[in-house]
Amino acid sequence: MGIINLSPDSFSGDGVSDVEVAVAQAQRMVAEGADILDVGGESTRPNPVPVSIDEEIKRVIPVIERLVAELAVPISVDTGKSEVARRALEAGAAMLNDQWGLKKDPGLAELAAENGVPVILMSNQRDKGGYDEGVQRDIALYEDVMAEITFSLRHSLELALRLGVPLENIILDPGIGFGKTWQQELEIIRRLGELKTLARPLLIGTSRKSFIKMVLDLPPDQRVEGTAATVAISIANGADIVRVHDVKQMVRVCRMSDAIVRSSQ
């Protein structure tokens, strides 16, 4: 999954605002081997500048319309707002990517059900509550990060099913970079296989993220090797989709990792 950031404050420094530049970036990613493109109009960095629904629609819809018309790969929209998702689906998007796992807007699941499209549900611990009334978590203090993530993802999965999303259309994401400590993020990759108990495909997004900086002390544009290590180990531990900025390099890592891990399948 190649990342198309349409937010100027993207943490990775690759945000674009011009439609033509975004389309060219997408074309290059597909040529390099991307299977899916994920288009987002609001930064997912910690404490981002809030983006209104109208502004997010203004950013993403023209790009999605062009990509759907010009490219054969499915387009995903990265948003936590059902109105943005609705407009994206009308423009031809084929997948929803909800960084809040339906905690903020369950309407995303209803849209996925109505339109028969897959939805990615992420475990996000940036707020300290929101799963159910009266239930609160603080991930930094929680004893077992994988137990917390499993709790979060199971809740999102069950909610999506109740709202009509078919089981086969649900993908889960443990949420690297969303309210965990950098040590916990290393642990998530190491223990990723434990999430296979949820019996859904796993997406992981480690690309250029700050936990790599904490290990290697490098800026975002120099984290490609660190990202490659996280991608290879994630695949070895059960990841089915990897969301990345550096498509050309990560496609090679994926193919080599698959040759080792999945060649017997």
Tell me, what CATH number does 246's domain have? Answer: 3.20.20.20
115 vs 12: CA distance, rounded Å: 32
Flag whether pLDDT at 192 surpasses 50. yes
Pairing of strands 75-78, 37-40: parallel
pLDDT in tens, 196-251: 999 999 999 999 999 999 999 999 999 999 999 999 999 999 999 999 999 999 99
pLDDT at 130: 40
Of the residues 103, 200, 209, 223, only one is catalytic, namely 209
- Look up the pTM and report it: 0.90
Burial tier of 264 (Cβ tally within 10 Å: 0-12, 13-18, 19+): exposed
Question: By percentage, how much of the chain surpasses pLDDT 90?
Answer: 81
103 a catalytic residue: no
Mean of per-residue pLDDT scores for the chain: 91
262 a catalytic residue: no
Of the residues 243, 248, 255, 262, only one is catalytic, namely 243
Domain count, the chain: 1
Q: How many CB atoms lie within 10 A of CB 106?
A: 18
- Supply the range of the domain harboring residue 99: 2-261
Mean pLDDT of 191-197: 97
pLDDT in tens, 116-133: 999 999 999 877 544 443
